[in-house]
């Protein structure tokens, strides 16, 4: 999702040819179909097959991640080879048995790499990222010892994790029901493309859930990030139309919270515990491993490729900085390392590498149908409103002398509890009336209302609602 999620928006602006491995292509096509985007030209690429885009020759090489079919890219340019790691880790026992292509990396390193751009997500984590196999072992253990229903949540795109659920279910004679649209779409596609190995008799339609004995059933659904509309969260809130959780059920949350989601994930966990459900989650059990390389793996990649220049990618500023420092510890000269901010450009030519002219870059926010229209102003207003709400003062003034003719009416939400604030608001109105008594123009009235209300309401409540005068002149 963090690699293809913006595609539908980007494709509305430009329509370049796309290159993707088979599974990635499948995921993209599911997404474009959902968003009704047509006319995109996609070419399927395969590891080891070179893409010729003069003056570049691009060689994808296989990497392990939380999903099959990931690749890194070796871009051969007239000046030298640029390697883009993609999201990767060095898992020796991945779910599909296909490890990161060490041979290719060694070959690239041997021939010389001009620039490495590499994933920095786990630049804070010591050691090696554990193998997906450890998750498989946990699943095996849980499935072996559990009598009731087993519900597993993960990202809809985490095809490898779904395969692990199917494997454990098959081994313990459970059928698997996939619930939720995004999960169903991805599973169907991955099965058709051969990335999910599953017998038809193992898969169960959601309608059949009530008729299946608990000990023969596993459910795969979304909700690992506490998403309000997800199947798991609705079940945890006793709010799902078909599925009800009962004591005896077991839930496996096979993901860690993405930063910022901790609160909603914890709330979901608390609700599950309240329902008396057995819960396996990352704090207690190895039910998830990261898809990204940890510090020792980052060093390993640097060591294999020995790039002339290095640019950390894919992380917040602290991750990029730490990855840069790691490269220094691994022996690179600080002058070879470029930790860039969004919008900065790295230029390389025969003479060397340097940071070039800044280009326009930043976040484009999508809100409803709007793309990019919500910016700092709107966000600041939402932030203010979320804190202390608003108070609107509606007045009619005399166009000639600016004196108050009617009002003020005060309209307020999110500021105080109205049934208990009559006195406060009555006094606030009185203050506005007094302030407008002497007349003046519209601008003066606007200013006065603002001043009087801000001051009085803050004095009485120590809150700062947004204050908006609405003035009608007659």
Q: Using CB under 8 A as the criterion, which residues of the chain lie in contact with its own copies when the complex forms?
A: 124-125, 259-260, 262-263, 266, 269-274, 279, 283-284, 316-318, 321-322, 341, 367-370, 373-375, 377-378, 381-390, 392, 394, 396, 406-407, 409, 411, 413-418, 420-421, 460-463, 466, 468, 470, 472
Q: Which is nearer to its own copies, 71 or 272 (CB)?
A: 272
CB of 77 to its own copies, least distance (A): 30
Q: Which is nearer to its own copies, 112 or 127 (CB)?
A: 127
SS (H, E, C) the chain: CCCCCCHHHHHHHCCCCEEECHHHHHHHHHHHHHCCCCCCCEEECCCCCCEEECCEEEEEEECECCCCCCEEEEEEECCEEEEECCCCECCCCCCCCCCCCHHHHHHHHHHCCCEEEEECCCCCCCCCCCCHHHHHHHHHHHHHHCCCCEEEECCCCCHHHHHHHHHHHHHCCCEEEECCHHHHHHHHHHHHCCCCCCCCCCEECHHHHHHCCHHHEEEEECCCCCCCCCHHHHHHCCCCCCCCCCECEEEEECCCCCCCCHHHHHHHHHHHHHCCCEEECCCCCCCCCCCCCCHHHHHHHHHHHCCCEEEEECCCHHHHHHHHHHHHHCCCCHHHECCCCCCCCEEEECCEEEECCCCCCCCCCEECCEECCCCHHHHHHHHHHHHHCEEEEEEEECCCCCCEEEEEEEEEECCCCHHHCHHHHHHHHHHHHHHHCCCCCHHHHHHHHHHHHHHHHHHHHCCCCEEEEEEEEC
CB of 332 to its own copies, least distance (A): 18
Q: Which is nearer to its own copies, 45 or 289 (CB)?
A: 289
Burial of 95 (0-12, 13-18, 19+ CB in 10 A): buried
Q: Which is nearer to its own copies, 193 or 466 (CB)?
A: 466
CB of 27 to its own copies, least distance (A): 24
Q: Which is nearer to its own copies, 77 or 261 (CB)?
A: 261
Q: Which is nearer to its own copies, 99 or 278 (CB)?
A: 278
Q: Which is nearer to its own copies, 109 or 315 (CB)?
A: 315
CB of 461 to its own copies, least distance (A): 5
Q: Which is nearer to its own copies, 42 or 374 (CB)?
A: 374
Q: What's the full length of the chain, in residues? A: 474
Q: Bridge-partner residues for 75, per DSSP?
A: 58, 82
Residues 6+ apart with CB under 8 A from 1: 155, 157
- Residue (of 228, 285, 227) closest to 251 by Cα position: 285
Contact yes or no for 449/372 (Cβ under 8 A): no
CB of 380 to its own copies, least distance (A): 9
CB of 47 to its own copies, least distance (A): 33
Contact yes or no for 95/132 (Cβ under 8 A): yes
- Residue (of 275, 342, 299) closest to 128 by Cα position: 299
Q: Which is nearer to its own copies, 22 or 460 (CB)?
A: 460
Q: Which is nearer to its own copies, 207 or 459 (CB)?
A: 459
Q: Which is nearer to its own copies, 241 or 260 (CB)?
A: 260
What is d(CA 184, CA 199) in angstroms, rounded to the nearest whole number?
16
Rounded to a whole number of angstroms, the distance between the first and last alpha carbons of the chain is 55
Q: Which is nearer to its own copies, 60 or 407 (CB)?
A: 407
């Amino acid at each position: 999702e963090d690699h293809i999620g913006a595609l539908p928006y980007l494709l509305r602006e430009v329509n370049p040819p796309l290159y993707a491995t088979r599974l990635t292509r499948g995921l993209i096509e599911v997404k474009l179909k959902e968003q009704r985007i047509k006319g995109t030209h996609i070419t399927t690429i395969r590891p080891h097959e070179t893409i010729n885009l003069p003056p570049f020759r691009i060689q994808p090489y296989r990497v392990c991640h939380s999903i099959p079919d990931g690749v890194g890219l070796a871009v051969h340019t007239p000046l030298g080879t640029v390697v883009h790691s993609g999201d990767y880790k060095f898992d020796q026992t991945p779910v599909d048995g296909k490890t990161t292509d060490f041979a290719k990396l060694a070959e690239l390193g041997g021939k010389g790499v001009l620039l490495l751009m590499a994933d920095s997500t786990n630049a804070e984590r010591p050691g090696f990222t554990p193998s997906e196999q450890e998750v498989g072992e946990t699943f095996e253990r849980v499935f072996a010892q559990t009598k009731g229903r087993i519900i597993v949540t993960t990202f809809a795109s985490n095809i490898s994790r779904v395969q692990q659920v199917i494997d454990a279910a098959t081994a313990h004679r459970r059928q698997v029901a996939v619930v939720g649209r995004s999960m169903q779409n991805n599973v169907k596609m991955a099965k058709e493309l051969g990335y999910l190995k599953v017998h038809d008799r193992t898969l169960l339609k959601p309608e059949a859930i009530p008729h299946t004995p608990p000990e023969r059933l596993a459910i795969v659904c979304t909700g690992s990030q506490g998403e309000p509309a997800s199947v798991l969260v609705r079940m945890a809130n006793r709010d799902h139309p078909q599925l009800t959780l009962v004591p005896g059920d077991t839930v496996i949350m096979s993901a860690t919270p993405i930063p910022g989601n901790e609160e909603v994930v914890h709330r979901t966990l608390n609700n599950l515990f309240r329902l008396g459900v057995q819960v396996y989650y990352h704090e207690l059990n190895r039910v998830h491993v990261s898809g990204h390389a940890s510090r020792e793996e980052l060093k390993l990649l640097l060591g294999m490729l020995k790039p002339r220049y290095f640019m950390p990618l894919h992380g917040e500023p602290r991750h990029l900085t730490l990855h840069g420092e790691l490269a220094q510890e691994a022996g690179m000269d600080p002058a070879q390392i470029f930790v860039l901010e969004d919008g900065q450009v790295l230029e390389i030519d025969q003479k060397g590498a340097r940071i070039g002219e800044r280009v326009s870059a930043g976040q484009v926010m999508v809100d409803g149908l709007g793309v990019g229209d919500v910016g700092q102003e709107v966000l600041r207003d939402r932030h203010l409103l979320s804190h202390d709400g608003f108070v609107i003062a509606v007045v009619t003034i005399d166009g000639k002398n600016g004196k108050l003719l009617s009002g003020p009416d005060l309209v307020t939400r999110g500021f105080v509890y109205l049934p208990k604030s009559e006195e406060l608001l009555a006094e606030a109105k009185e203050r506005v009336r007094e302030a407008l008594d002497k007349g003046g123009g519209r601008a003066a009235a606007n200013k006065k209302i603002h001043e009087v209300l801000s001051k009085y309401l803050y004095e009485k409540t120590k809150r700062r609602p947004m204050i908006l005068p609405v003035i009608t002149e007659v």
